[in-house]
Amino acid sequence: MSDMVENPAEPGPEPANLRFLRVLVTILTGVMILGLVTIIGLMFWRFSASTPALQLPDTVALPAGATAQAITFGADWYAVVTADDDILIFDRATGDLRQRVPIHQKPE
């Protein structure tokens, strides 16, 4: 039985299909890492881009009895939606009322 001592033999050559699979997995790993780094870089670049701060008016002078429900801003105007279903459009530079648009309820 001493003749039967197992000696580890040197590994044989790797089969071609296993070598091909190993190369594909390595390439896939590299592509995934590159894609992840690209996505993180694009997100960082996009979110760190400086956007101009929105200039809000100091005060909004609503007509007597009007209560603001919502406000939105345009390039040179801002609009206030009131509880009375009116849209008041003001000039951003002067604060003057440009237009009053009533919101009509649709008949049922």
Q: Do residue 29 and residue 65 come from a single domain?
A: no
Q: Do residue 35 and residue 74 come from a single domain?
A: no
Q: What are phi and psi of 67, to 5 degrees?
A: -120, 125
For 58-92, the pLDDT digits (tens) are 777 888 888 889 988 888 899 999 988 899 999 98
C-alpha distances in Å from residue 52, one per residue of 48, 49, 60, 64: 12, 10, 22, 33
For 29-45, the pLDDT digits (tens) are 999 999 999 999 999 98
Q: Do residue 43 and residue 59 come from a single domain?
A: no
User: Is 2 within a domain?
Assistant: no
Q: Do residue 63 and residue 85 come from a single domain?
A: yes
List the structure tokens of 23.
């190369």
Q: Do residue 91 and residue 65 come from a single domain?
A: yes
List residues bridging with 72 in a β-sheet. 79
Residue type, 8: P
For 24, the domain range is 12-48
Q: Do residue 37 and residue 61 come from a single domain?
A: no
